[in-house]
A = this chain, B = another copy of it.
Amino acid sequence: MSTKEEKFNNYLRAKGLKFTPERKIILQEVFSLRKHFNADQLFEKLHKKNRQISRATVYRSLPLLVESGLIVETLRCQSKVSYEQIFGHKHHDHLVCIKCGRIIEFRNEKIEKLQEEVCKEHNFKAVEHRLGIRGYCSRCLSRANKKSS
């Protein structure tokens, strides 16, 4: 279980599904994309590269990639579900600039630990979590300062 292809294949086989050429291409493309992407961005990218894969197939494949543990659903940007790779990346949370859209990733062990404690207190078995902090990034703040001075 070292490469992403193997991992995806194993997942599919275990569920009686097939590692089709379409799924192979989608897998490749997902991992050549920038970190945060959504279904239609992926579809567009494939379309431009003349890989004839239907929109339905793209939409159908993403949940499989999530289930197999290769990608994860992250933020919802303006009503679109956004994904990012987790194979080879470790978990992190996000700061999202509501002015320029910049996404800053961070990881804070203490917060992660405290979440575990909260779950224990409530006898809750966590599967995943998402922490998103929305506000203004440093660039947007300094630009705002320059203007007002």
Contact = CB atoms under 8 A, between A and B. Distances in A.
A15 B3 CA distance: 56
A82 to B, nearest CB: 12
A115 B111 contact: yes
Interface of A: 76, 95, 97-98, 104, 106, 108, 110-111, 114-115, 118-119, 121-138, 141
Top-9 shortest CB links A-B: A123-B138, A126-B135, A129-B133, A127-B135, A131-B131, A125-B136, A125-B135, A95-B124, A111-B114
Contacts of A132: 129-130
Given A108-B118, A114-B108, A98 B127 contact: yes
Nearest to A107: B118
Given A123-B138, A131-B131, 20 more contacts: A95-B119, A95-B122, A95-B126, A98-B127, A106-B118, A106-B122, A110-B114, A111-B114, A118-B133, A119-B133, A123-B141, A124-B133, A124-B135, A124-B137, A125-B135, A126-B134, A127-B135, A127-B136, A128-B135, A130-B134
